[in-house]
Amino acid sequence: MTFMKRHPLITFFVLAYALSWWPWLLYTVHLFPFPLLATGPALAALLMTEIIGGWAGTKALLLRLVQWRARPRWYAVVLLLPVVIWGAAVMLNVLLGAPAPAVAQLVGWPSLALGFLLYLVNPLQGPLGEEPGWRGFALPRLQSKWSALVGKPGTPKTLLA
């Protein structure tokens, strides 16, 4: 525990990769359907945050997951812009001579949107499996030591220093 508290980043990265890649052993002998789990970084972040900051730290990490950092209209732009671009591409394609898509081809869009939303919030596979670890735990600690400019290509720095 002392090592974990003194070296939280090293411990986090080791745990994140270990918790992500342990199924590989079972996958190679056909005992598990996936070679890795995307939840490893989030689990490592929760574990390390609990060890370092107790329940208060864990609560703060979980609350940041639901904190809105931009106005709702920007979230709407991010979610709707791909649909608008797709629609414009279809219209441009038809204007350039392609046959118009049949209604049957467009019927699948509601199920595609539902699939996207499920992927967005699915903790086993979507961003909730990784982002709390990489951006919620590791990034603030990295940025407390180094600026974003230090991470540019051509400037090697070690995390162990």
User: Looking at the 3D structure of the chain, how many domains does it have?
Assistant: 1
Residue 16, SS3 per DSSP? helix
Reported as a pLDDT band with limits 50, 70 and 90, residue 27 is: very high
Range from 57-61, 80-84, 120-124 carrying the lowest mean pLDDT: 120-124
Residue 39: give the domain boundaries.
2-151
**Does 157 map to a domain?**
no
**Does 114 map to a domain?**
yes
| Average pLDDT of the residues in 111-122 | 70
**Does 59 map to a domain?**
yes
Is the full-model pTM beyond 0.75? Answer: no
**Does 48 map to a domain?**
yes
The DSSP-derived string for 107-147 is TTHHHHHHHHHHHHH-TTTSGGGTHHHIIIIIHHHHHHHS-
- pLDDT for res 108: 62
Rg (CA), the chain: 21
pLDDT in tens, 29-62: 999 888 888 889 999 999 999 999 999 999 999 8
Over 80: is that where the pLDDT of 137 sits? yes
